[in-house]
A and B are shown apart, each in its own frame.
Chain A
Amino acid sequence: MKYKILKKEHLNNFINLLSQRQKVFAPVKKGEKHFVFEEVTSAAPISIKYIPTILPPKKFFMPQNETLLEYNTHEGQNMEAVVEIQDIVLFGVHTCDIAGIQYLNLVFTDRPKDLNYLLRKNSITIIGLECNDYCDEYASCNLMENALPNGGYDLFFTDLGDYFIVHVNTLAGDNIIEITRLFEEASHAQLDELDKLRANKRKIFKNEIDADITDIPALFEKGQQSKVWEDNGNRCLACGNCTNTCPTCYCFDVIDELNLDLKSGKRYRAWDSCQSEPFAKVAGGESFRKSRTQRQKHRFNRKFKFSVDKYSRYSCTGCGRCSRACMAKINLKETLTALVKEHK
């Protein structure tokens, strides 16, 4: 295990050096409790303490609109499949969001592989940042076992007061250390500090609902006819905020767009939401998920049941974004708690 130290007085220099080589994106405050990943060239605008950004890092891995093909029909159906990539560094990614990226990696590596995603992913460097305490009351990262780092990054920063202790996880991470020349060796005392912080975190981060993660599959097995889905369905406005802001939601629509010459254009994919009614329509206008109740249940099943069936992994990271963004105040922790209560 390789640990390094970056004194806080060097952070500005660090970001600046990185940004001369690649675009650097980091959490920047946009208003009361609102943060976004935005391009930075210095440390000044970066919020080291922040709650999950409005949109998760998904927006870099799977842009909201992404060109898949460029075509030209002057003579027959001619096209090129394309991918747009950019070498970027994401600085300050929380453990829940790293877990979200890990889940997307799993989905898009699954056959048939999605080259657009995989090629782009390879051009993104991830620098994680530890949450020393809870973001807010919406988080359930401990339940989802994402409160502590678990791989998926190149470097990982933990704030220990005057300095960051930095875990070097990959060659790409090591390269950054080499190139920027701002890091020092970590001492035993500093490693002990990190251990202390983690031990303390284990005390602070408690299961946010009255259930163990291993109980969840059985809970969903029993809860398919639960009243909870109807309660949520009756309130839901089908706005799609929950799915847009979710770090693991990846459903999309595929759309053709013609240029003014009416002969050339592009085919692109755009984020879509299972909460919208036309999403699951079939021929003749029939739909197998007409009601908001059915669609709410589907969303939760995809987070806690189907993903476990398919990938042995929950596709909820516990980031709390869906609850924060919901216009109808539908709350993931409350939904799970209600489900637990029904089946106690």
Chain B
Amino acid sequence: MTRDKKKLTITESEYHIKKGKIVKVKQMTEAEMFFEIALADNENLNHDPGQFVEVSIFGVGEAPISISSSPTKRGSFDLCVRKVGKVTEALHKMHVGDEVGIRGPFGKGFPVRNLEGNDLLIVAAGLGIVPLRSLINYVLDNRREFGKVTILCGCKTPQNMLFGDEIDLWQKRLDINFSCTVDKADPEWQGNVGLITSLIPGVDVYPQHTYGIVVGPPVMYKFVIKELLAKKIPESHIIVSLERHMKCGLGKCGHCQINNLYCCQDGPVFSYDKIMPLEEAI
């Protein structure tokens, strides 16, 4: 027993970070950068599609970032980061070989087991494609387990389009239906112009065995969900991923609370029937 303060090191702390090495960087658009990150010894992250990690840069801070690659990709994982503030700006200055801190994976991802054997209608708006890419690639790598797969993808302008190369490949695949739209076209754009909601009425669904999976900016959920309900897709078959400020990722700090739920632990992926009664959800 002692009267003095003691400082202990605790490696099991939930705040402990793993070191991640940047193995690939690519500027995607003016604001978004792609990172491929490998943990020491290429340890697998073992995440579910839709989960996120807390990315640290010491001296700057931590930010929750969705894991954009499928767990079927081994040895490294992908992030796509939009530059908005301190941490994300610091990340944008990083190069191949630099280290970042990683905590996680955190949260509940897409309910892949429930989705199996069903048709999927995936609606990705703006940055929503980032977490959805982890699901889409998972589905494509396990294509046999799913029914009809439809992907609708929307963004502001063709310049904002993320993962353009991959989207070109998806467009060519025969085993998925892919449509893409921009709010505002440029002279080269050949595709659809209009809000993403305009693509939904044209999709043919068997509502009872279709899951609608929606990720995008906060304003878009109400409108897209309305269209999905109009297609008679049950509320429990509508899956969303919500974003909140996060500080701990552990269900403690209170920042990410949506009424009685913690977005970081109970989400970020929720089924619509669970959050529909909550005032603060969407």
Residues of B within 8 Å of A255, CB to CB, are 61
Checking A71, A87, A301 against B3 with a beta-carbon cut-off of 8 angstroms, the contacting residue is A87
Q: Confirm or deny: B203 has a beta carbon within 8 angstroms of a beta carbon on chain A.
A: no
Residues of A within 8 Å of B232, CB to CB, are none
Tell me which of A95-103, A135-143, A303-311 binds B: A303-311
Interchain residue pairs A-B with the least CB separation, the first 3: A251-B254, A81-B13, A76-B99
The answer to whether residues A251 and B253 also contact, given A86-B5, A301-B260 and a CB cut-off of 8 A, is yes
* A65-104 CB contacts (< 8 Å) to partner B: 68-69, 71-73, 76-77, 79-87
Tell me which of B41-49, B52-60, B147-155 binds A: B52-60
- C-alpha spacing A263/B59, complex, angstroms: 8
- Told that A110-B251, A253-B253 touch, could you supply 8 new A-B pairs with CB distance under 8 A? A23-B3, A77-B56, A80-B9, A114-B14, A116-B13, A251-B255, A279-B255, A288-B280
Q: Confirm or deny: A210 has a beta carbon within 8 angstroms of a beta carbon on chain B.
A: no
User: Could you tell me if A283 and B84 are in contact, using CB atoms closer than 8 angstroms?
Assistant: yes
Q: Confirm or deny: B62 has a beta carbon within 8 angstroms of a beta carbon on chain A.
A: yes
Which residue of chain A lies nearest to B278 when distances are taken between CB atoms in the complex?
A288
Q: Confirm or deny: A58 has a beta carbon within 8 angstroms of a beta carbon on chain B.
A: no
Give the distance to chain B from A167, nearest Cβ to Cβ, in Å.
Answer: 23
Give the distance to chain B from A230, nearest Cβ to Cβ, in Å.
Answer: 14
Q: Confirm or deny: B24 has a beta carbon within 8 angstroms of a beta carbon on chain A.
A: no
Residues of B within 8 Å of A281, CB to CB, are 245
Q: Confirm or deny: B244 has a beta carbon within 8 angstroms of a beta carbon on chain A.
A: yes
User: Could you tell me if A310 and B57 are in contact, using CB atoms closer than 8 angstroms?
Assistant: no
Which residue of chain A lies nearest to B60 when distances are taken between CB atoms in the complex?
A256
Give the distance to chain B from A325, nearest Cβ to Cβ, in Å.
Answer: 19
Residues of A within 8 Å of B58, CB to CB, are 69, 71-73, 77, 79, 256, 265, 267
Checking B16, B218, B243 against A81 with a beta-carbon cut-off of 8 angstroms, the contacting residue is B16
The answer to whether residues A289 and B252 also contact, given A81-B11, A115-B10, A252-B247 and a CB cut-off of 8 A, is no
Which residue of chain A lies nearest to B8 when distances are taken between CB atoms in the complex?
A83
Q: Confirm or deny: B100 has a beta carbon within 8 angstroms of a beta carbon on chain A.
A: yes
Q: Confirm or deny: B257 has a beta carbon within 8 angstroms of a beta carbon on chain A.
A: yes
Give the number of residues in A that approach B within 8 Å (Cβ atoms).
Answer: 60
User: Which of A83, A84, A254, A255 has its CB near the most chain B CB atoms (within 10 A)?
Assistant: A254
Residues of B within 8 Å of A224, CB to CB, are 279
- C-alpha spacing A63/B2, complex, angstroms: 19
Interface residues on B, range: 35 or more
Chain A, 253-290, contact with B by CB distance < 8 Å: what is the 0/1 string?
A: 11110100011010101001010000111111010110
The answer to whether residues A81 and B15 also contact, given A86-B4, A254-B253, A301-B259 and a CB cut-off of 8 A, is yes
Residues of A within 8 Å of B75, CB to CB, are none
Which residue of chain B lies nearest to A72 when distances are taken between CB atoms in the complex?
B58
Give the distance to chain B from A324, nearest Cβ to Cβ, in Å.
Answer: 23
Which residue of chain A lies nearest to B16 when distances are taken between CB atoms in the complex?
A81
Give the distance to chain B from A111, nearest Cβ to Cβ, in Å.
Answer: 9
User: Could you tell me if A112 and B19 are in contact, using CB atoms closer than 8 angstroms?
Assistant: no
* B242-276 CB contacts (< 8 Å) to partner A: 243-245, 247-248, 250-255, 257-260
Checking A23, A265, A286 against B218 with a beta-carbon cut-off of 8 angstroms, the contacting residue is A286
User: Could you tell me if A114 and B252 are in contact, using CB atoms closer than 8 angstroms?
Assistant: yes
User: Could you tell me if B15 and A68 are in contact, using CB atoms closer than 8 angstroms?
Assistant: yes
Checking A71, A113, A283, A286 against B14 with a beta-carbon cut-off of 8 angstroms, the contacting residue is A113
Q: Confirm or deny: A108 has a beta carbon within 8 angstroms of a beta carbon on chain B.
A: yes
Q: Confirm or deny: B30 has a beta carbon within 8 angstroms of a beta carbon on chain A.
A: no
User: Could you tell me if B6 and A85 are in contact, using CB atoms closer than 8 angstroms?
Assistant: yes
User: Could you tell me if B10 and A282 are in contact, using CB atoms closer than 8 angstroms?
Assistant: no
User: Could you tell me if B260 and A87 are in contact, using CB atoms closer than 8 angstroms?
Assistant: no
